[in-house]
Every structure is written in C-alpha cells, then in structure tokens.
Chains A and B, each alone.
Chain A
Amino acid sequence: MTTKTRLLLKLAGLTGALLLSFGVAAPQEARAELRIDITRGVVEPLPIAITSFAGSGGRDAQTGADIAKVISADLERSGLFRPLDPRGFLQTPEQLRTGDPRYQDWKALGAQALVAGNTTTGPDGRMKVDFRLWDIASAQYMQGLSYTAPPQEWRRIAHIVADAIYKRLTGEDGYFDTRIVYVAESGPANTRKKQLAIMDQDGENHQFLTDGQSLVLTPRFSPTTQEITYMSYFNKKPRVYLFNIDTGRQEVLGDFPGMTFAPRFSPDGNRVIMSMAQNGNTDIYTLDLRTRRQTQLTDSPGIDTAPSYSPDGQRIVFESDRGGSQQLYIMGADGSGVKRLSFGEGRYGTPVWSPRGDLIAFTRQRGSSFAVGVVRPDGSGERILSEGYHVEGPTWAPNGRVLMFFKDLPSGDGRGRNAKLYSIDITGANERRVITPLDASDPAWSPLIP
C-alpha cells in the first residue's frame, strides 16, 4: 500500500501575514515561556488539548480526526504529555480555524497547551495539513506549520506534527516519525520461528520482511539509507547481511571464513562493524561498504563482540571477556587504546552508544536477574533502568531520551517463551509495552525518517 516513502514533505512556516491575522494582540509583557523541563527525573505530564483537525469534506474531516488521535497517542506515550478528553472541549475545530482560542475556556479545562489544525485536499489530490500551537497559560500563539503530502501518508504527517510539538515544548528533537525493525518470534522455544519485521514506532504499518525460513537475529538500521544490517542463517551459514527496505534486495556482507554477527553501521553509514568467530576466537572487524575492504580491529584471544560506534565515529564501545568475564570496553575507531568501562558486579554486554553521545546503554547480568541500564562513556553514573528475569538488548530513540529493549520470559506452561518489546525513558520512568502482533525481540530504532 503506502509506497515507500522518501515522501516529499513540503515543510513551511505559515506566512507572516497569516500568522499575524491569527496573532494574539494582547500579551506583550515578557512571560516565562511554556516549557517542559525533561532533564529532571520525574515530570508531571503537561495537560494538552488536541482538537480534531478540521476538514471541509467528509474524507478530510475523517482524516483530520485520525491525525489528531495519532498526535495525542504519540505525545501521551512519551509520558511527558497528558492529552485532555476532547469531549470537554468548548470550541470546535472550525471555530479555532478562524480565530483566537478562548483562552479562559481552555484554561478552565486545565489545558496548558492547545493544538488545532486543518486538513484539506488540493486539486492535485495532495493533502495539506496545517497545525497551530498555543500556550494557554500565558495566552499566546507559539507555532504554526504546514505540510503537504500524498493522502495515504497521513500517519507520517501526524507523527511529524507530534515531533514539532514535542520539540517546541521540550526543546529536544522528537522521535515519533521513526520506525522499529525487530525479530518477530513464534512457535515453541526449541523450534522458534524468527522473522525480521518492521513497523512504525507506534506499532502501525506492520510488515514482515523475511518469511522465517532462515533464523535471523539482531537487525540494525542504517543511519543514512533505507537499509538494515542483520544476521541470517541462510543456507546454514551464519553471516551478516544487508537488506534494502525499498527493494527487498539482500546481500551477504564481506567474505569471511567464519561466522559473522553482531553488526552495526558506522554513524556515517559507510561501514558496518561486526564480529567474526573462527577457531573459537571472536574478534571485531569493519567492512567498508564502498571499497568492500575488511579491517580487523581487535585480536585478543577472548570474545570481542557487540561493537557500537560513538556518534562522532571516533570511538567504539564493545564487550569482551578478555579480563575473565564479559565486560564493556572502549577503544579508538582504529582499535587502539582499549580501556575497560564497566567495573560493576556481574557481566555486562550489548553496549549501544547514545545518538547524543552522553550515555552508553547496556545489558547487565547479575545473579539470577538481567537489567538494562546506562552509564557515561567515562564509566561514571551507572544507572539501572529496568530489571527482571530476562531483559536485554537496548536500542536508542534518535533523540537519545528513550530506550527500547525486550523482555524474554518463560511462558506459563513451561513450553515456550514470552518475548515482548518495551520502551522506557532514560530517567527510568514511563516503562511501556510496545504492542506487536507476535512475540518480539532484538528491537532497533530507526533515525528520524529522512
């Protein structure tokens, strides 16, 4: 259905004249701007009124209502916003189209921010969506933007609007116009079927990418292209592959004599870093996607795996048992200057560098429990975010504020597994189940869709 999508978004601020005609005449005195401070630990969600987007025709009106629902759901799931029940709203979307909001009415409802918008279909069949955001407390207009896209892309438009609101009110980039690739699991634990699957960040537009004939593991998004790198047991030969989401084309990466696994892209998208195991020894290699040159970065006799680049591409965090047990290490991008990062009790693995560079997420195994946590790249400030029988495999939202991971629990009957995806804020707040049609593991968050 939705043709895959370098969708041509026309992003334009509403014209100055338009803005002025909606402009709020009164408040010129300096007031503290409405802003959610998300750097603190626990945040009281901001009450926000999101009206149905007005539309002239039947279809436009329906799309407008659907868009508002998607925006509300995105903002609510972030844990930073509390969308108010629209049944209490005293102004219609149409009234908000042509005039200022009645601030007192919205204030009485408890709203601190208000979102309204329009959906229209142009003569060329393209859909135009615009929205406006008001600060109710200080009675002022904050932002207005307009987007044009094919009508079937209404969900993306809604996510983009939600990202704009999130950014305007938190000061940080949003992460709603993103997708998740993961491994969909089905069947009993000893004959588990695993398929690559992809979905929007909110679980919509779900698609299976592989048919489950070959075992697949650890998919990761390219930071720059519509490509995924992952591991497949195709032909009983476990190797790292590249999968093109647009074309479905896939190819094995590199020509390695042993099993290759644990792949990730470099931040510029030009290389894939991975492990190769041969003769009982696992080391880290890179493959340059342009020259196809393979470079070996580590040569310890131990297990060196799960490499992840810093966002500037200068450093690599990985796990190794060279010191006796599985721990995190950091080295330069050329493999030099290896330094141990984790010193806590237990085993540490699956490190992933935050897109912001400030934190490294990991899985910790201690005693009979697993945990997902974060630590600063200098080894300080280690914090556990979620702990349980088995939690594993964190992945970062592109803004570095939210993690997704999986929990893998024995099913009640003892016969199988119960693997599910969860998201959590880096403060440790707002842990949420991410709904998938089948069991799910190994999530990987995409960058913001270009």
Chain B
Amino acid sequence: MRMKFLALAAVALLAACETAPKDANTGAASNSSSIRPGSQEDLAVNVGDRVFFGLDRYDLSPEARATLDRQAKWLQTYGSVTVTIEGHADERGTREYNLALGERRANSVKNYLAAKGVPANRVKVVSYGKEKPAVVGSTEAAWSQNRRGVTVVD
C-alpha cells in the first residue's frame, strides 16, 4: 500500500534532554572551570537541574524546594535564560495516567519557581509520562530517580 512515511522536519526533539548531564546529585564533573555560566551544564553541576517525587505524588519535598530555591536564584542571575520543565513518571503506571502525572509534577516545579520570582513566561512545561526514564531498571532505586522534574535550558 502506498502509505507515505512521515517526512516531518526533524527538529532536534530529543536532543535537549538526551544531552543533559546525567544527574546533578552525583556531583560528577570536577573541572567546573570549563563550564559555561548560564548553560545547562552549569545548572546541572553547580545548581541541580532536577527534583524527585514520591510514588504517585507531585508535592515538593524539602530537598526539592532547596534545589528549586537555587534554581530560582540562578534563573535570576541569568535573566535571559528560558527553561522547560520536563515532568516524568516511573514505569509502574498506565500510560495516560503517567502523562497527566508528569504534567502535574512539571507544574509543581513551575509554580514554585514562579512563587520565587521567576516569571511564568520564562518557564514552559512538558510531560513525558513514563516514556523517558533517566535510569533504566525495574527497581525502586531506578524508579525513584525517574519520578522527577528536570529543568532544561531552552
């Protein structure tokens, strides 16, 4: 049958999150001198680019708030930077529910940043549901890393 394959222009859709540093919490990068201020790497290494959520929850833990306080300050320092908050869920849910849950989580982050003075027009949200785990694996250790909101520099 003559079905046209989609010839959609491939805007670097996945690039942004795929090239993001793995996990700010590991504090891996040592040569922070080579990091460009105001970049995604700067955010991930020196501030923390993500917060984590409890099972089926979207409220912010004290740790998450501390991370977002630093993010808000950082965003005030780099006033021209705009970001997208990616909301994610672990794999232990149905697809549609997890899309909605990821959107809730992303908005929790956005609302907190807004309360800390980051203008809403600098912050977009997107939910990936369970589609893009940060850590591959079917253990609670992996799932807890995947229930997250990630702040991605546009």
Contact = CB atoms under 8 A, between A and B. Distances in A.
A189 B91 CA distance: 10
Nearest to A248: B4
Contact of B97 (A235, A246, A305): A305
Nearest to A306: B96
Given A190-B136, A303-B100, A390-B91, A214 B131 contact: no
Contacts of B100: 261, 275, 277, 282, 303, 305
B101 interface: yes
B132 A2 contact: no
B108 interface: yes
Contacts of A250: 6
Contacts of A207: 1, 3
Nearest to B142: A414
A277 B96 CA distance: 11
Interface in A1-40: 1-5
A442 B126 contact: no
A291 interface: no
Nearest to B12: A236
A349 interface: yes
Secondary structure class of chain B's binding surface, majority of residues:
loop
Contact of A365 (B5, B10, B92, B133): B92
Contacts, number: 148
Interface residues of A, number: 67
Contacts of B18: 191
B71 to A, nearest CB: 18
B142 to A, nearest CB: 9
B8 A349 contact: no
Nearest to B135: A190
B3 A319 contact: no
Nearest to A191: B18
24 contacts: A2-B1, A190-B134, A205-B1, A209-B5, A211-B6, A213-B6, A215-B14, A217-B95, A218-B95, A218-B96, A233-B13, A236-B11, A237-B126, A258-B103, A261-B99, A278-B103, A280-B111, A281-B104, A303-B101, A305-B97, A306-B94, A319-B97, A392-B94, A442-B95
Interface of B: 1-8, 10-11, 13-14, 16, 18, 58, 84, 91-97, 99-101, 103-104, 107-108, 111, 126-128, 131-138
Interface of A: 1-5, 188-192, 194, 198, 205, 207-211, 213-215, 217-218, 233-238, 245-250, 258-259, 261-262, 275, 277-282, 303, 305-306, 319, 321, 326, 347, 349-350, 363, 365, 389-390, 392-393, 408, 410, 414-416, 442
Given A280-B104, A347-B93, 10 more contacts: A190-B133, A192-B132, A211-B6, A248-B6, A258-B103, A278-B103, A280-B58, A319-B94, A363-B94, A410-B137
